[in-house]
Structure 1
Amino acid sequence: MKGGAPGQVREDRARFFYGDKLRLARLLAGLSLDELGGLVTASRQFVHQLETGAKEPTEEMRDALAAALAVTSAFFATPATNPVREEDCHFRRLASAPRALTAQAVARGTALEALVDALEGQVRMPIVDFPEEARPASPNAIERIAENARQHWGLGLDGPITSMMRVVENAGAVVVHFDDLTDRIDALSMARRRPIIVRSTAKVAGARLRFDLAHEAAHLIMHQGIQTGDSVTEGEAHRFAGAFLIPRAAFAREFPRSRRTLDWNALFAMKLRWKVSVRAIARRAFDLGLIDAAQYRTANIQLVKTGQAKAERYDERVAIEEPELLRAAISWISNRDPIVLYHLLANLGMAPELFARLTGERMPTLPDNVVPFGTDRLL
């Protein structure tokens, strides 16, 4: 096949149909077997047989499936290679998330990874540089791991982190958001060759989004190969996030001391300096023994009473950090030669609609004399 003309190569590839790619495309679209069957006028059983390889579709059915799933027919012509598995993922709120939702998130991770791999053939991305640590045996070990991570990335231990987003992206992670998935899955990360972090857009507070990024960094550093989502591993990641955002020595120096009541003005000033929520600051003070259980409980009650359980005072003054790495890679290719991006998508068998769903970006506009999309016309 190597020596054949491009048209012959496409024709040969089109003869193959891999059911695992149909299942992947269906999960990417968030459709059940019944729902996809309804879109292509086929039974649930028939779609299942296609996915398992028990049957093969006609050319017309193949085209109908592609149209329904925002892919091209070429998408089905190659098998899924090294797909993301659920055990590769660190889910938040996994217990309450429907099984179909976690499967959809894993499928999106698989497709996004394939897209990022293709982009890396065109642009240079940061070297993946997350330090690997053994699972901590104590809270003190978590503090040390967080401090080591800051030192590893040249962040020091005395001052606030300017951008948590840039910390993880400079370490090689790709950060995206799946708007329609993160109502039930709070946040998640995928431990892959190039880590993927999915941030939740259900939260509008910049301080909480920064904490989420630090939390996911904790999983990538401390929980390689460990199933997470339980209260123990989540507690470890929370402790790391607090320690990473405000190291213990600096926290102890700046936390306002009082035997009886908390100095709320000082706490909010601390929030604005470190870009960490007051709720997280109160928890950090309790973890470090600077306030007792009664004071910590009183702090949480006060936040609830004043309507600050989810949205705190001065939230608007902590900027929401936006992902930059993936957008910059796509922008660089689009500005240099947009047709390359269309070739790339055609080779992956993705339609622009799926590209937008995965990345949040739109495909660039091509000159009027160039056909905008289609494997047969571009390759």
Structure 2
Amino acid sequence: MFMFFGEKLTQLRELNGLSRKELADKLTISEQAVWQYETDNLVPRIEILNQIKTLFSVDTKFFFQTTFIEPVVSEEHVAYRAKDRDSRKKTKLELTYLDYVDYYINYFEKFLVTPTSSITKLQLQIKPFLHSSKFVEDIPRSIAKIASYSRQSLQLHHNKDLMYVLESSGIYILEKDLGTEIDAYSVITKHNRSFIILGSLKKTAVRRNFDLAHELGHLLMHEDIDMESLTKKEHREIEHQANLFAADFLLPEEEFTADFAELQRKSNPDSYLDLKRKYLVSIAAMGYHAYQLGLMNYQENRYFYGQLTKKKYKTFEPLDDEIVPIKPGRVKSLLQLIYKKQVLAVPDLSNIFHIIPSFLVKLFNLNPDFFDEYVAPKPDYFSATNIISIDKFRN
């Protein structure tokens, strides 16, 4: 007799951000019944099982084999860019998501020969400085040095290339619905894989750039910090450090100072439009950085922020609708390579993982028709030394 593994139903429920009550409502059953399924006290009836597998894009066999997912990150290592520390209540659901995306990426990467990522090298280079007395002597200045070194090391010459440069460095950047309170979060898994998860709610390109740089700051500076044990004051300080890093990283001091000196009215937000086009950073963030660098005095800064409020620029700035946000592409490119070269075929998803294509479409926020062209692929004869046969991993 086959055994139903309720743990896998729990994983799928959490992966989709559902409470037991919410899942019960979708299935038109009681919350108690969902609890019994998840704790192996009751096996779902066939009609309920069919509803569940359709809802979560899996095959029936998915629930009758032991879980292949293992935890790859602990709660205390997830760093949030959020409005409030209480947003960490959502962390447990995000851990399941991270376990799944890391598992599938780890599996797909096995078919490729990949060098040590430059982000890993950069993290190792910076770590000794973070634990030195020089860092704590002047933290803002130390962060500026780290940001400058990081920009040079990653060879970021223009902020329009930020997404591409970060993904090329080895960071996996993904989009998902994080709700309204969380902008983004980042983590390093036990496989030493760096992730930045961006909220998929509509956001301007310049604000997304700051989110990316903010999370890069966490990945480089705060890997060893227990985020879960921080007090609210300590959490604010960590977020402040990541903000400082983001501003220093996106607005290199020497170049930005020279450009800022050319402004006719530095306390007028409308004077920043050319700088916004150049740096792809919000007017608010540039004003913040200018004040931190001492390029504006207290009165000028106060007037600047008063004008931001008066002009309602805190919600929508000039050029926000003209600068197009860049979407992550690393995972998409990885899957395209695997399937175009026929290292894997679409039926393998069911044969190996007992999932259907829409499962990965939702997991990685792909276009709904992503797998359509690979359903019946044409023969493709090629020679590629950097692709390993799937047979090696089926034995």
Coarse TM-score class (shorter-chain normalised): 0.7 to 0.9
Matching of residue 191 in structure 1 with residue 181 in structure 2? no
CA distance in 1, matches of 2:350, 2:110: 13
Equivalent of residue 104 in structure 1, options 93, 117, 131: 93
Q: What secondary structure does 1:323 align onto? A: coil
CA distance in 2, matches of 1:336, 1:169: 22
Q: What secondary structure does 2:71 align onto? A: coil
After superposition, residues 159-308 of structure 1 pair within 5 angstroms as 160-178=158-176, 180-192=177-189, 193-228=192-227, 230-256=235-261, 262=267, 264=269, 266-308=271-313
Q: Indicate the residue corresponding to 1:333 in structure 2.
A: 338
- Contact 1:40/1:64 (<8 A) preserved: yes
- TM normalised by structure 2 equals 0.78
Q: Indicate the residue corresponding to 2:372 in structure 1.
A: 364
CA distance in 2, matches of 1:232, 1:343: 47
Equivalent of residue 6 in structure 2, options 19, 23, 48: 19
CA distance in 2, matches of 1:161, 1:331: 26
- TM normalised by structure 1 equals 0.81
Q: Any unmatched runs of 5+ in structure 2? A: 378-393
**Structure 1 residues 87 and 129, CA gap change in structure 2 (3 angstroms):** farther
Q: What secondary structure does 1:177 align onto? A: strand
CA distance in 2, matches of 1:232, 1:75: 44
**Structure 1 residues 297 and 52, CA gap change in structure 2 (3 angstroms):** farther
Q: Indicate the residue corresponding to 2:58 in structure 1.
A: 71
- Contact 1:37/1:43 (<8 A) preserved: yes
**Structure 1 residues 254 and 40, CA gap change in structure 2 (3 angstroms):** closer
Q: What secondary structure does 1:92 align onto? A: strand
Deviations along 1:262-295, whole A, 9 cap, x unmatched? 3656522112111111111111111111112222
**Structure 1 residues 259 and 243, CA gap change in structure 2 (3 angstroms):** same
**Structure 1 residues 218 and 21, CA gap change in structure 2 (3 angstroms):** same
What's the offset of the Cα at 1:41? 6.1
CA distance in 2, matches of 1:51, 1:85: 22
CA distance in 2, matches of 1:33, 1:95: 25
Q: What secondary structure does 1:199 align onto? A: strand
What's the offset of the Cα at 1:35? 3.2
After TM superposition, which residue ranges in structure 1, 4 or more long, deviate above 6 angstroms?
257-260
Q: Indicate the residue corresponding to 2:383 in structure 1.
A: none
Q: What secondary structure does 2:11 align onto? A: helix
- Contact 2:178/2:200 (<8 A) preserved: no
Q: Indicate the residue corresponding to 1:116 in structure 2.
A: 105
Q: How large is the Cα RMSD of the aligned pairs? A: 3.0
- Contact 2:217/2:246 (<8 A) preserved: yes
CA distance in 2, matches of 1:331, 1:153: 25
